[in-house]
Amino acid sequence: MDNRILLVDDDQELCELLTEYLSGEGFSVRYVNDGETALADVFGSPPDLLVLDVMMPKLSGIDVLREVRRKSQLPVLMLTARGEETDRIIGLELGADDYLPKPCNPRELAARIKAILRRTRTIEAGDVLRNADIELYSGNREVFLAGEPLDLTSTEFTVLLTLMRRQGSVVRKRDLYLNALGREPVRYDRSIDMHVSNLRRKLGPDESGNDRIETVRGIGYQLKVGR
């Protein structure tokens, strides 16, 4: 199984350091230093995962992510400046699977990458889950809405899978973090909130015009039982 990582950052020294560390963890790493080259690589020879810095010349990481999401659900981990919540929120809104503030610990970066790839590649028994006009096939990680394929990122799929397996019951945020992101929640982290927001937008309202996913304040989320 390949573990091809494309690292995109304009900091040459950081790229060399992370490449050396990630290679030691069993990844095949290529790095580029600008957004335009990154897009050419993604669409020319797609990696298994994209590690993408926000601040870059030519095209920002946000611009690159926007272009990638127009054509691909490639797993993307964003690197953001510490304290730049706006960049994190925009990245998650556009479909980034997770983010890590810079300067980042190479060990934590490797752990995040492994969690995303493990989630993306998990092959389960062919469970079929249904909720109203939603059909989810866990074995091949496909979702259909009113009979039409629904494009979800790996993280969005796992959030929906978790909610559908417990539809009608409240799922705690901590459980969503562990299942969908493979990590404990940290203070002020709104990652799961953004993924749920993306899911709401993609699923649209139910037949009554209401949100399919309810927020249970202070606890988590609940997927209403559809008819």
Structure tokens at 100: 């890590």
Which pTM value belongs to this model? Answer: 0.83
Write down the domain spans for the chain. 4-121, 128-223
User: What pLDDT score does 143 carry?
Assistant: 94
Q: How far apart are CA 35 and CA 59, in angstroms?
A: 5
CATH (residue range 4-121): 3.40.50.2300
- Residue 21: what pLDDT? 96
pLDDT at 82: 67
Structure confidence at residue 141 (pLDDT): 86
Query: Cis (ω within 30 of 0) for the bond into 106?
Result: no
pLDDT averaged per 10 residues, the chain (length 227): 88 94 95 93 93 89 94 92 79 92 92 89 72 90 93 93 94 93 86 94 91 93 86
- The pLDDT of residue 126 is 64
Cβ neighbour number for residue 52 with a 10 Å cutoff: 27
| CATH topology identical between 4-121 and 128-223 | no
pLDDT at 58: 79
Domain 128-223 fold is Arc Repressor Mutant, subunit A (1.10.10)
Q: ∠ at Cα 40 (35, 43), nearest 5°?
A: 120
To 10 degrees, what angle do helices 61-71 and 35-44 make?
A: 20
